[in-house]
Chain A
């Protein structure tokens, strides 16, 4: 097993999981690297709930399949608690930035091409768009 202290920690947004699941590409490569323990991924409860909701409501995943995805994400990524009652008030991009900063992430990987980059300008965590 790789030494966690030497492995990059990447905060990933909901779009990265969706992109990998639906289309593969760079997002899937990121997941494969996490499975191989070459990198570590981090997310939080609210983002997992967002992913599950989109799979079921917007993409017609069965309940069992959506649940299987959630279980996989939990096994594949470090899941941090939400930032208290304030989580509900945070935009999902702000939530991701919050998780990344609290976790000491080395980078944020996102499918968002612009808004997260603007929000992240004041953050010490670099934002990388992967599509």
Chain B
């Protein structure tokens, strides 16, 4: 819906825009769709990376590769 969208302007190197436009042509999509998709992927991946860093720390504290994941789950039941 229109009220859920904010129009922003960003500056992008010409070469990158040209490459983006080629993808737009190939995929029959507009620039906004590709910007939104790229941003959505970036933000989601950033969240995952932060969670994974936290998880790696917890795994190291709990015994590293010695953790038996199936056993962890079974023991919960």
Which residues of A are in contact with B by a Cβ distance under 8 Å?
Answer: 1, 14-15, 18-24, 28, 31-32, 35-37, 50, 53-54, 57-61, 65, 68-69, 72, 75-76, 92, 111-113, 131
Contact = CB atoms under 8 A, between A and B. Distances in A.
Contacts of A18: 69, 72-73
A53 B65 contact: no
Given A19-B69, A37-B41, A112-B70, 12 more contacts: A15-B70, A21-B51, A21-B59, A23-B59, A28-B52, A31-B48, A32-B45, A35-B41, A58-B75, A60-B61, A65-B54, A111-B69
A32 B45 CA distance: 7
B28 to A, nearest CB: 12
A35 B67 CA distance: 26
28 contacts: A14-B73, A15-B69, A18-B72, A21-B51, A21-B55, A21-B59, A22-B56, A23-B56, A23-B59, A28-B52, A35-B48, A36-B41, A37-B37, A50-B76, A53-B76, A54-B72, A54-B73, A57-B76, A59-B58, A59-B62, A61-B54, A68-B47, A68-B51, A69-B51, A72-B48, A75-B44, A92-B73, A111-B69
